[in-house]
Amino acid sequence: MQTAQNVVPLSDAAADEVSLDYDARFLRRKVLTTRAGRQVLIDLPRTTSIGDGDALQTTDGALIRVVAAPEPLLEITGQDLHRIAWHVGNRHTPCQIEAARLLIQQDKVMTDMLTKLGAQVREVTEPFTPEGGAYGHGRTHGHDQTAAHGPYGSDHEHTHHHEH
């Protein structure tokens, strides 16, 4: 079994690929099966958020592109999308922001809140590629919001420990 220990950002040179949903793209150590049917041990030095289009590099130099898999989401539309987006962001919910809609992971509490705000919410199944964090560290998903944050962002390194 090959081992991948490096991430190559937005690589076009990959010969194989693996399709992972948003939560599964948060990796440190895991065995994955590629589209070609090969098993690869991912063994990264720290838990890492892998972006759609990034590649995992094996110890022999092969690249495996990571593709965002379709997953159940909520599509949010409405007259005042800026205000709705503010409320989504205020709850530290990963959100894919587009010109005419927002996409978030399915969540009944969020659906209820958004409906009360006048948003139209419908279930869809699409790849999910939400915005990164405010300080360019990637995701806030699973982040302990009670941690102390200084005036210049987080006072700790964003290497989240998120296990599945």
Q: What is the pLDDT of residues 1-37, one digit of tens each?
A: 899 999 999 878 888 999 999 999 999 999 999 999 9
Q: In the prediction, which pLDDT does 75 show?
A: 98
For 77, the enclosing helix (H) or strand (E) is: strand 70-77
State the average pLDDT for the chain.
83
Query: Which of 56-70, 87-101, 116-130, 134-148 bottoms out in mean pLDDT, i.e. has the lowest?
Result: 134-148
Q: What is the pLDDT of residues 127-136, one digit of tens each?
A: 999 987 544 4
Q: Of 81, 22, 83, 20, whose CA–CA distance to 56 is shortest? A: 20
Q: What is the pLDDT of residues 37-49, one digit of tens each?
A: 999 999 999 999 9
DSSP letter string, 102-143: EEEE--HHHHHHHHHTT-EEEEEEEE------TTSS---TT-
The SS3 assignment for 88 reads helix
pTM of the model: 0.76
Q: In the prediction, which pLDDT does 133 show?
A: 54
Single-letter code of the amino acid located at 104: I
For 65, the enclosing helix (H) or strand (E) is: strand 63-68
For 102, the enclosing helix (H) or strand (E) is: strand 102-105
Domains and CATH numbers, the chain: 2-68 (2.60.260.20), 71-127 (3.30.70.790)
CA distance 110 to 88: 8
Q: What is the pLDDT of residues 78-95, one digit of tens each?
A: 999 999 999 999 999 999
